[in-house]
Amino acid sequence: MGALYQHNVSEYIQTYNLKNYVETGTGAGDCLRYAVQFDFKKLKSVEIYPQVYDRIKNGFSDSRVELFLGNSYELMEQMVKNLEGNTLFFLDAHFPGADFHFETYTSTKDYDTRLPLEREVRTLNSVRDLSNDVIIIDDLRVYEDNNYSDGNWSLRSQAGGDGIQFIYEIFEKTHRIERDLRFQGFLIIKPK
């Protein structure tokens, strides 16, 4: 599990004129708490697991923050429809409830709910011009093996994804796609 603070958010904001922050997989709210420190106009986060959402929903009194309960790819259009300006996306939704021991990594049989990344990105691409946005995908080792500092994930063949070719299909013409092998891996997608 990675975290937003492991990235130079200030540099991204300045370089790409980022105005908003959107994340999937609120979890304990750590990344959102970190993002609130910056001068984003709007911050939005979605969590699918009700028990996790209930734990954090009252923890954000900042009027810029909007929390959503539900499936990230089903709510993505609603989350981004009123966003004006360049946005930082931190995509970290997967394995509903597993990090909090409510479920196992293989409990959710529906692939798109267990690993919503492709549906999230395809939805975003269909409803928003992403050409000036920055996208950070957390836990890259869920999707592919590599030399991550935390090692490869032993359950990837059972519960994980089958590569990230769809990322190149969507972004390679408009963005630079970089792998960051620290921790469990990040894919950082920045405008060219």
Spell out the residues 6+ positions from residue 131 whose beta carbon is closer than 8 angstroms to its own. 174, 175, 191
Instruction: Give the three-class secondary structure for 66.
Output: strand
The pLDDT confidence band at residue 58, using thresholds 50, 70 and 90, is confident
Decide if 156 contacts 114 (C-beta within 8 A).
Answer: no
pTM of the predicted protein model: 0.97
For residue 176, the cross-strand partners are 190
Query: Which phi and psi angles does 20 have, rounded to 5°?
Result: -135, 160
Stretch 126-139: mean pLDDT, rounded?
98
Q: What is the pLDDT of residue 59?
A: 84
**95 or 1, higher pLDDT:** 95
Q: What is the pLDDT of residue 1?
A: 57
Q: Distance between CA 176 and CA 31 in Å, rounded?
A: 23
Decide if 42 contacts 69 (C-beta within 8 A).
Answer: no
Domains of the chain: 4-191 (3.40.50.150)
**Which residue matches tokens 């990594």?**
105
Q: Distance between CA 24 and CA 35 in Å, rounded?
A: 13
Q: What is the pLDDT of residue 17?
A: 98
Terminal C-alpha separation, the chain: 27
